[in-house]
Every structure is written in C-alpha cells, then in structure tokens.
Structure 1
Amino acid sequence: MKSGLPSSLSSDALSNMPVRSQSEFLDLAADALKDDLLGFHLALSFDFRALGFIYYVVASAETLAQALANEEEYSAILNEPVRLRSGRTSGLSVELSYEGLDPHLDRHFSEFWITGTLKQCRDFTSRELIPTSATMVHLRVGKVPEMDRYFGREVVFGADRDLLEFGKDVGDLPLVTHDPHLHQLLRRLQSRGSTVRAPEPDSLRFRVEKAITARLRYGTVTIDAIASDLGTSARTLTRKLAEEGVSFSSILDGVRASLAVRYMRNGEIVMSQLAWLLGYREPSTLVRAFKRWTGKTPTEFWRELKQGGFDDA
C-alpha cells in the first residue's frame, strides 16, 4: 500500500487502538515514513469491515441517507470516538467530530476519517460521488492536489467543521450492499443485548485546550471568554484547574507551543501568519516564545526540520 504500512496493521491492529493512540501512531508513522498525507493514504486501502458491528449495520441499510443516519445513531450508542452527524436540507451533509481529540491538531486522524467517509459512500453506492463541498478544521499551507483529485474538488482547510456536502438527490441513492435481513437482525441484537454506554466526560483541561484553540486565531483568548464558553465563571475555572494541578496560563502556553511546532511541521509558513494563528499581535513576541519552547528560533527550527533533525519531535 502507498502508506508503506503492513496491511494487517492498517486494519485490525489500528482499529483496536484507543483513539488517542491511533492519532499519535499516525503522527509518528507519518514522520518515520516521510508521508505528509499518511491519514489520507491509509484510508484509501483500509478495510472498514474491521470496525465490526457499526460497519455492517451501516452497510446493510437501504439508502445512503439511512446508512449515515444509522452511523450517527450507533456511534452515539456505542460511544464511538468518531461521531458523525448527517443532515438533509438543500442536500446531504456529513459532519465529523472526534471525542477526546482536537481536529486543529490531529490532522492525520481527521484526514483518515473524512477520506474514509467519502470512500465508504462511494463503495456503498457504487458511484463516484463528488461532494459539492469538502472542508476541514485543521490548517495546511498551500494546496493539496492529491486530495483534491480524489475528492473531485478543492478541499478547504482552516474551516469551522470537518464537513462533506452532496447534492440533494444523493441521499436517496440505494446501497449495493443493502441486506434487509442482516440489517434488521443487527438492530434487534443491539436493542436486546447491548448495554448503552454513556459518553465519558472530557477532562476539564482538554475542554479548555479545545476552547483556546478555537479562539486563538481571532485573538480573543482570555480566561473570562474561555470560562464563558464552558458555561462557568473565571473564578470557578481557575479553582477547578488548580485542583487538576494546572493553571490557565500554562495551558494557553502549552497549546501555543504544540500548535506552533505542528504548523511548522506541516510546511513552510511565514512568521506573520504563524503569529496570527497563535494569537500574537507581533511576530517578535512569537519568536521569543518559540525560543523559550524549543531553545531555537523559528528559522533555526525550520532549517533543522528540513534537514531531518526533528524526526522524534
């Protein structure tokens, strides 16, 4: 396969990893293989039957809209880490979100799933479906022609959601994998024999990190704003973070440091743009912070990155 990973690892083993381990594995593998599109490449050859029950209850539905509605329903019931939300207004839409992950950072994981979702829609209908829109939350510098060719249109990065949109009639397409007997059997088995697992709440630190990331590029990160986003007061947020042994300022600094390195690894980026993405008004402030985080200026870091000096970063 193009990703260079063994086929056994790309299906059974990977699907059985915890979601955070999956994302970290993809990041490490992408660095080792020098494959900036590993998540995308992996999705093209992944055997989604390895997902088990949820794959078969989706694949056996009658129409594409029903299949996606089933995936939305059962991903919530089974507490799956990848959550899908489908809708039909002017057309068929499919939105992806990820429990316990930040789509701004975990790009290989999110590219795997949005590509895999399109691939399954095509496989289930035996149609070369072209979305009317394809957007992703994380940023990439420049265009990604290989992904654009597969999706049949330009994939837009830096958007508000990981989202696929299709024309109005796509949802009515019949599935070539439709099996009414299997579908009813699986639904009965789930309703009779399975315990519904409620989603585990995210840690406060993770929710703060996620809220900070969403606001950074707009320069609106304050403890009052983040507390409001989380439905609490700044005083309560400060107290609860202290109980976890962290402070708001340390979390903000950590998010900026992590994002800075990720953006640098994604491709060459000008300092003014990087400063804006991290919520700094002046590039000089970013340069000082970056040297504190890494011991190097952004220019020095980028130079060594191109020379392969940060494979384990």
Structure 2
Amino acid sequence: MKVLTVAAGLARTYIDYAERKGADRVALLSAAGLTEAAIVDQDDRLPLETYRTLILAAKDATGDPAFVLHHAMDTELRQISVVGLIVHSAKSMADSMVQLNRYAKLMVEVDVMDSGERFSMEPCAEGVWVVDNRPDPNSFPELTEANYGRFVSEFSREFPDHPFALAIEVTHPAPSYAEAYERVLRCPVTFNAQRNAMLIGSEWLEQEFDDHIGYVFGIYAERADALLARLETEDSLRARIEALVLPELHKGEVKIDTVARDLGMSRQTLYRRLKDEGVTFAQILDDLRCRMASDYLSARKASVNETAYLVGFSEASSFVRAFRRWTGMTPVQYRGQQHSLT
C-alpha cells in the first residue's frame, strides 16, 4: 500500500506559525513524532498521518480550533513551496489551475492524484465551481480548510478589491468553530454538503497575471518536475528505509533507532508506519540482503566470502545458511545456476 506523504516544508510552516502563537516548539515536535532534522529541507517528505497528527497537536497547543484557517490567511504559499512560485508565475488564473493540478502532490499527496485531477472546474449559471476531488475528505477536514483557506488567501492578497470566493460547500459537519469559516473565508459556507466545492466568478478564468515571466516560470517548473520524479521513486516508507540502509548494509547490525532518527520520526512511529505497509523492519533488512546477495552472485561481482561481507555477515557460514533459507540453494549452487542460464 502506498504511503501518502506531504512536504516537510509544509509541516515546518505549521510548526513555525504555532510557535508564534505561543506553542512550545519542542513539545509540538514530540507530539507529532518529529525532529528538527526532519523538517530542515522543505522538499523532504513526511507521512500524511504525521502531518495530520501535527495539525491536531498545533490546534491543541495554540488553543485555536480554527488554527488551520488562520494559518492559511496569515502565510504565503510562495514562501512555503515551489508550487506557490509556479502558481504565482503562471500566465493566468486558468493556467494556474492547470499547474496546481500537475504539482499539488508536491505539497500533499492524495489518492485521487493517481487517477484524475485534484481540482476540477464545473461551470454553472452563477460562475464556476472549483471541486476538490479528494476521496474520504471527512477523515481529515482540516485539509479541506487548508485548501479553500489557501485559495481565498492567495487571491485576496493579489486582488484585494475583487472578492474571490462567492460560496463554499464542505462535506463535513459544522465544527464547534463554524462561525470562523464565514468570517475567515469571507463568504457563505454550507456544511454537510454533497461535495467540497468553491464557487468563483467566471471572470476569474480570464484573469491574466501581471507577474508572469516565461523564463522564471520555466526554472520553477524544471525544479518541480525533478521533485515529482524523485517523489515517484520514494512512494513508500520501505523504499526510503532501503535507501538509507543500503550504504550501511556491510556493517552488519543496522539499528532501527538510527534509521528512525534519519527519517525524522520516533521508533514507535516507524513501527506503526511499517505495520501500515504490512512489513517489519527485520523483513526489510532480510529481503534487502537477499536481493543484494543474489545480485552480487549472479553478476559475478564478488566471491561468496566478499558477498557475505557486503551484505553484513561477519562469517561466511552464517551467510550460507541465510542464503539457503532465502533461495533453497547454497551461494555456489545459485551462482552455478545463474551462469548456466546465461
């Protein structure tokens, strides 16, 4: 099962904002199972569940149930993510929506992104509905708040004399702080709706942006495309662990505490995330050793003794027993079989 992720920079901006609002930074990081190292690079990835835990903890720590709405209004996307730079350097509102659909997963991954557009446009007599196609939105209503709060914030900041949202519909029930929705979003809000959608005037689709510079846009897009490519190869926690462990495999003992620290999470969080993927840390190490040993032997890159060392065995006899368990053959038999097939 693919583990959905968010950009570390997005998590960091929530932590920074909560700290400005009086929250204890160290306690907030601890509540989310994070470390400062995990949020240094804004383009690193964190599990979506960690992000959700962080937001709930920030709401509690600041005593502000509408924390996510206020964060959206008080921060700028271009300061948080390359996605914001791309959206703001697009040629027009219509083009910015195209770019948002292309690059939105760099901020927050959702399942719908693998099979369709995150945001779709549905014209109507009153204007155009911007529909959020995220599945199961009521499991994380704060993400819905962030989405539409961000839309209103960014366009209201750029066009202060032109109201952006005319109405908003959300599928989740009215929370205890429902009054904050209309006050912050500056338009009528309907709860328990059939979809998550925002009504805007149709004239917005014709709105040109003054700041568009094709060369600058190209630089941002090139960076974003590189991040997308990286994200596609790091779509599971297992893959991230293997990337960390592989250079250390020859040392023998690989400690889960060290790997958890390098991933920016606690040991308990790492155990929980691996359980969600249906695998254990020991299985990942065992499978990686088997795969690498098979590669070394079949390609005749190393002797049996050298292979044993490269995958972390101090004694060749222990490696032979493990390899027989993995493949049903000794390393010598496996190498001979592979050679006969070539």
Alignment of 1:118-157 (within 5 A): 118-141=152-175, 144-157=178-191
Residues 199-219 of structure 1 show CA distances to partners (whole Å, capped at 9, x for unaligned) of 959xxxxxxxxxxxxxxxxxx
Residues 168-189 of structure 1 show CA distances to partners (whole Å, capped at 9, x for unaligned) of 1111112243233211333355
1:33 aligns with 2:65: no
**Could you tell me whether the CA contact under 8 Å between 2:166 and 2:188 is conserved in 1?**
no
Residues 133-169 of structure 1 show CA distances to partners (whole Å, capped at 9, x for unaligned) of 2011211157733321333322111122221111111
TM-score, with structure 1 as normaliser: 0.52
Q: Secondary structure at the match of 1:119?
A: helix
1:46 aligns with 2:75: yes
Residue equivalent to 2:148: 114
Pairwise CA distance, 1:127: 4.3
Match of 1:81 among 109, 115, 126: 109
Q: Secondary structure at the match of 1:89?
A: strand
**Could you tell me whether the CA contact under 8 Å between 2:172 and 2:192 is conserved in 1?**
yes
User: Take 2:41 and 2:54, find their aligned partners in 1: how far apart are those partners?
Assistant: 9
Tell me the amino acid that sits aligned with residue 81 of structure 1.
Answer: E
1:58 aligns with 2:94: no
Residue equivalent to 2:328: none
Residue equivalent to 2:19: 5
Residues 22-69 of structure 1 show CA distances to partners (whole Å, capped at 9, x for unaligned) of 221111221233322111111111232244221111110111121111
Residue equivalent to 2:99: 70
User: Take 1:109 and 1:193, find their aligned partners in 2: how far apart are those partners?
Assistant: 22
Q: Secondary structure at the match of 1:92?
A: strand
Instruction: Return 5+ residue gaps in structure 2 as ranges.
Output: 1-13, 29-38, 237-277, 279-342
Residue equivalent to 2:300: none
**Could you tell me whether the CA contact under 8 Å between 2:18 and 2:61 is conserved in 1?**
no
**Could you tell me whether the CA contact under 8 Å between 2:76 and 2:154 is conserved in 1?**
no
Alignment of 1:213-292 (within 5 A): none
Alignment of 1:92-103 (within 5 A): 92-98=128-134, 102-103=136-137
More helix by share: 2
RMSD: 3.9
**Could you tell me whether the CA contact under 8 Å between 2:69 and 2:184 is conserved in 1?**
no
Q: 1:88 to 1:119 in 2, by over 3 A?
A: same
Residue equivalent to 2:295: none
Pairwise CA distance, 1:98: 4.7
Residues matched between the structures, number = 199
Percent of residue pairs bearing the same amino acid type: 15
Residue equivalent to 2:47: 18
**Could you tell me whether the CA contact under 8 Å between 2:169 and 2:189 is conserved in 1?**
yes
Tell me the amino acid that sits aligned with residue 87 of structure 2.
Answer: V
